Each structure stands twice: as C-alpha cells, then as structure tokens.
Amino acid sequence: MEGCGEDGQVKLLGVIRSPFVVRVRIALALKGIHCEFIEEDVLNNKSELLLQSNPVHKKIPVLIHNGKPVCESMIIVQYIEEAWDSKAPFLMPRDPYDRAIARFWAAFIDDKVIPSILGAFRGQGEEQQKAVEESVANLLLLEEVLRSTGKAYFGGDGIGLVDIALGGLLVLIQTVEKVTNIVLIDTQKTPLLSAWADQFCKADKVKNAFPDRAELFAFLSARRAKLTSPPPGN
C-alpha cells in the first residue's frame, strides 16, 4: 500500500533479497513508516522510474519521498532518521561525536566487511581462504566495538545505525556460510557478535524485513555454481 498521510508519499524501489534494500526496510519498519514497495528487475529490465531516480549509478535501493529520490542504502537510512526525527526509536546517537563514530563503523562495514564476504563467496581455494580470514578479522573488530558498548546492540539498548548496517547483511552472511560451507560469525571467536545476530534476527519489526532464506539459498547456490564451474571448451 502506498505510504501517504503524515509520512507523505513514500516509495521504495528494490529487490527483496538485496541486503541493501533490507537495511532500508528495517529502518522504515522501526520508524513505523509505511511505503509502497516496487520490485525491480535489475538483472534484465530496470524500470524507467529507477533510471530516472538514480541516473548516476542506476542501482537499488532508491527511496522516493514526496517525489524526491534518495539513493545508497546507508544514506537513505540516515535520511529516514532525519526526515522523521520526531519518531521513535532514534536510529542515530544524539551526541555529535557518537554520531560520527557510528558513521565511521557503518562505513567500515561497507568498505571492508562487504568486499571480504563477497570475496569469500566468489573465491576458491587459497583465494577464498584469504577472503575468509579477512572477513573474520573484520568481524573481530566489530566484536570489540560491541564489547565496548556493554550493551545488547551497537546502538546501545536499542537498534541503531551500525546495527542496521551489519544487520541488513545477516541473512546474506548466514546463507553464504551455508552455500560455501564456511564459518564467518563464529560462536567461539565472536560470541558477542553471534548472540547479537540471534537477537537482531528475532527483533520485532526487523524479522519481517528479511528475505526468504530458502529462496536466497537457491539464488546464491545457482550463482556460486556458475562462478565455480569450469569455462566451456573452445
């Protein structure tokens, strides 16, 4: 249903299985903002609305609020917090320094964690092992960040920016583990992060934003098979 009323007109262009779209859906759900979700066929037939709304990158997700498009998942999450700043829960710290630190770790997840996990998914042999080790090292840093809060979430007692940045990837990470038979979030090496992941996935409003695990497993298994199959003969 199209989001109108006090929230204005809100549309989200995306693909359900995309972890970047999941981030936005989590933020909208936590804030209680209703939107019209428009599923895009990004592999074969991008819509004119998507191409017009994100002419630079032509990628999802795109949030359209009262006709104005906002692109890039974490920029959208921060926009949601600022555009609906009177709506609880607050997704970013009130203190400017704490807010800057949250942005730093959200950027770390995009710049370091995601590439290493994708490397573990795509790689084989030594290349994959190196990517797994890099992924675990990155997650160990986040384990220490979580430990330093002394709370259940990176955002403290409630879900915040860093939780959404990493939490939006959780079903992808867990499915990559199954498809490739590797371990990234280890209950022994990262016990706090493992407990955080379990709690985050069960949180009210959050759990409904995740993609269907069976469908994502089938999709990633097919992608993995293509990546690891030998090239056709000449």
**Both structure tokens of 19:** 């972890």
Encode pLDDT of 64-74 as tens digits: 999 999 999 99
Residue 61 CB partners (closer than 8 Å, separation 6+): 12, 13, 14, 18, 20, 21, 23, 24, 71, 73, 76
Please say whether the beta carbons of 138 and 55 come within 8 A.
no
Closest by CA position to 43, among listed 18, 70, 73, 62: 18
pLDDT at 20 exceeding the cut of 80: yes
pLDDT at 148 exceeding the cut of 50: yes
Please say whether the beta carbons of 131 and 139 come within 8 A.
no
Residue 189 CB partners (closer than 8 Å, separation 6+): 136, 140, 143
Q: Round to whole Å and give the CA distance between 62 and 57.
A: 11
Q: Round to whole Å and give the CA distance between 9 and 215.
A: 30
Q: Round to whole Å and give the CA distance between 21 and 15.
A: 7
pLDDT at 195 exceeding the cut of 60: yes
pLDDT confidence bin for 191, thresholds 50/70/90? very high
pLDDT at 131 exceeding the cut of 80: yes
Query: HSE (CB half, 13 Å, CA atoms) of 87?
Result: 15
Q: Round to whole Å and give the CA distance between 81 and 197.
A: 23
Is the entire prediction scored with pTM above 0.85? yes
pLDDT of residue 233: 58
